Amino acid sequence: MTMQSAGKRFRAALTAESPLQIIGAINANHALLAQQAGFRAIYLSGGGVAAGSLGMPDLAINTLDDVLIDLRRITDVCDLPLLVDMDTGFGPSAFNIERSVKALIKAGAAAAHLEDQAGAKRCGHRPGKAIVSTAEMLDRIKAAVDAKTDGEFFLIARTDAIASEGVDAALERCQRYIEAGADGIFAEAAYDLATYQRFTAELSVPILANITEFGATPLFTREELASVGIAMQLYPLSAFRAANKAAETVYQSIRQNGHQKDVIEQMQTRAELYQCIGYHRFEDKLDALFSAKKED
**Together in a domain, 102 and 175:** yes
Query: Would you say residue 1 lies in a domain?
Result: no
**Together in a domain, 235 and 268:** no
- The answer to whether residue 115 is catalytic is yes
Is 174 annotated in some ligand binding site? no
- The answer to whether residue 259 is catalytic is no
The pTM is what? 0.94
CA–CA distance, 43 with 25 (Å, rounded to integer): 6
**Together in a domain, 34 and 66:** yes
Looking at 9, 30, 113, 125, which residue is catalytic?
113
**Together in a domain, 257 and 140:** no
Cα dist from 62 to 27, 134, 244, 289, whole Å = 16, 25, 20, 42
**Together in a domain, 142 and 225:** yes
**Together in a domain, 32 and 167:** yes
**Together in a domain, 88 and 117:** yes
Query: Would you say residue 40 lies in a domain?
Result: yes
Is 221 annotated in some ligand binding site? no
Q: Which of 195, 217, 239 is where one domain is finished?
A: 239
Mean pLDDT of 60-79: 97
C-alpha torsion 118→161→114→35, nearest 10 = 130
**Together in a domain, 58 and 175:** yes
3-state secondary structure of 182: coil
- The answer to whether residue 287 is catalytic is no
**Together in a domain, 183 and 271:** no
Q: Are 170 and 187 in contact (CB under 8 A)?
A: yes
**Together in a domain, 75 and 147:** yes
Number of structural domains in the chain: 2
Bridge partners for 158 per DSSP: 115, 186
Containing structural domain, residue 221:
6-239
Looking at 9, 58, 78, 196, which residue is catalytic?
58
CA–CA distance, 168 with 166 (Å, rounded to integer): 6
Query: Would you say residue 252 lies in a domain?
Result: yes
Mean pLDDT of 234-246: 98
Q: Place 1 in a pLDDT band, splitting at 50, 70 and 90.
A: very low
What pLDDT, in 10s, does the model give residues 184-218? 999 999 999 999 999 999 999 999 999 999 999 99
Q: Which of 219, 239, 259 is where one domain is finished?
A: 239
